[in-house]
Chain A
Amino acid sequence: MNATNATNAMKTTTRKRSNAPIFWALFGAGGMLSALFGPMLVFITGIAVPLGVVLPKDTMSYPHMLAFAQNLIGKGFIFAIIALFLWHAAHRIFHSLHDIGIHAGTGAKLLCYGLAMVGTVIAAYALLAIGF
């Protein structure tokens, strides 16, 4: 009896379902991917290859990278890394803006997630342009 009354009381306040799970899932996937591979990727593309240390000098030569980007698995890896890193960062930065007191709401949301979306589309377009 009591439980039913309380239930009815709760039902009268309509609550809006949050659409955060979409962004949260992308944030989590990107966060996990960057936690697992991020530091090594940065080391390879940003330090080892440019300085010519550890890895062979032609590791990221045009033929090598073209072949990698034309391979289906390579394509998927590149897309996942770029897109999910962007969505991960966008979600965190959006919340950090809120944290430091910039409650721009829709504006901040559009800017953060919008940039991630634009980056995702560019990555997809470039990968398709590279061909199979």
Chain B
Amino acid sequence: MNKRRPYVRSMDGWWRKNPFFVEYMIHEGTALFVAAYAGILLNGLVHLSQGEAAWNVWLLGLKSSWYIGFHVLTLIALGYHTYTWFKIMPRTMPPVVVGGQRLSAWAITGSGLAVAAAAMAALLGLVWGMAR
């Protein structure tokens, strides 16, 4: 009789067993905040389509300390998403060769973060310019 009986270990709680996986679950978890924020914006958009009074109700709601607090948490979560998105980028994109040399992981992450910073500055400037 065959004595082989390969034992398959459980995957329960795998993500708690290694700091690398804990970090992975945290950056995947930022999606909850992205979803919630998209929901808030969608709600605002629906209010906007219902006229000025409805819009102002939504706008006033944003001033509640619960919403402010939640948006501060969302800001942190989305900031972390930005950081981790570009941190993993050297692993996810095809190699970039500049002048016969492969661009280092640090250079790719750095350029990504620089572009994000520029995009966000431009967005703030644009909104400021349009509102003035």
Contacts and interface: CB of A to CB of B under 8 A. Distances in A.
Q: Let me know if chains A and B touch directly in the complex, using CB atoms closer than 8 Å.
A: yes
A37 B120 contact: yes
A80 B101 CA distance: 36
Interface residues of B, number: 52
Q: SS class of chain A's interface: helix, strand, loop or mixed?
A: helix
B130 to A, nearest CB: 7
Interface in A8-54: 30-32, 34-47, 49-51, 54
B36 to A, nearest CB: 8
Interface of B: 11-12, 15, 25, 28-29, 31-32, 34-35, 37-42, 44-46, 48-49, 52, 55-56, 59, 62-63, 67-68, 70-72, 74-75, 78-79, 81-82, 85-86, 112, 115-116, 119-120, 123-124, 127-128, 130-132
Given A45-B41, A55-B131, A81-B41, 13 more contacts: A31-B81, A34-B78, A34-B81, A40-B119, A40-B124, A42-B75, A54-B124, A55-B127, A64-B130, A68-B130, A85-B34, A99-B28, A127-B49
Interface of A: 30-32, 34-47, 49-51, 54-56, 58-60, 62, 64-66, 68-69, 78, 81-82, 85-86, 88-90, 92-93, 95-96, 99-101, 119, 122-123, 126-127, 129-130
